[in-house]
Structure 1
Amino acid sequence: MPDDTSKTGRDRKFISIGEDYEVRDWAHSLGCTPEQLREAVKAVGNSADKVREHLSARRAKRAVR
């Protein structure tokens, strides 16, 4: 069953890559592409905090190079 877009409390902590609107909104919010978001969720799970950390670490590695 699709997420109820009117309820946002707990949903803000988790990313559902099965919902197009969430992929779009989270990618925009995190400053990444939808594909990068999907890769991050695959790597660390759907916790928004973990995905944010993962993406930040990848950016930091690229900045060092």
Structure 2
Amino acid sequence: MPDDKTKKRPQDSSRINIHEPYEVNYWCDTFGCTEVQLKAAVKAVGDSAAEVKKYLGK
């Protein structure tokens, strides 16, 4: 079943899904970063929100 596009927050707040635009927007707002920075962080440390937060220094 596809994600509900009316949702503005991720269903699993411990993981970052960079393939869903609404999640990318949510995490960029949350971490105060750009999409490029978010995707680079996920590539570097994986999709764990806690690890991405540490990587970005937030």
Normalising by structure 1, report the TM-score. 0.73
User: Which residue type is aligned with residue 56 of structure 2?
Assistant: L
Counterpart residue number, 1:3 = 3
Q: Which has the higher helix share?
A: 1
Number of residue pairs matched by the alignment: 55
| Unpaired runs of at least 5, structure 2 | none
Aligned to 1:2, what secondary structure does the other structure show?
coil
Counterpart residue number, 1:32 = 33
Normalising by structure 2, report the TM-score. 0.81
Contact persistence 1:15–1:47 (CA under 8 A): yes
Deviation, 1:2, is 3.5
| Unpaired runs of at least 5, structure 1 | 58-65
Counterpart residue number, 2:17 = 16
Higher Cα radius of gyration: 1
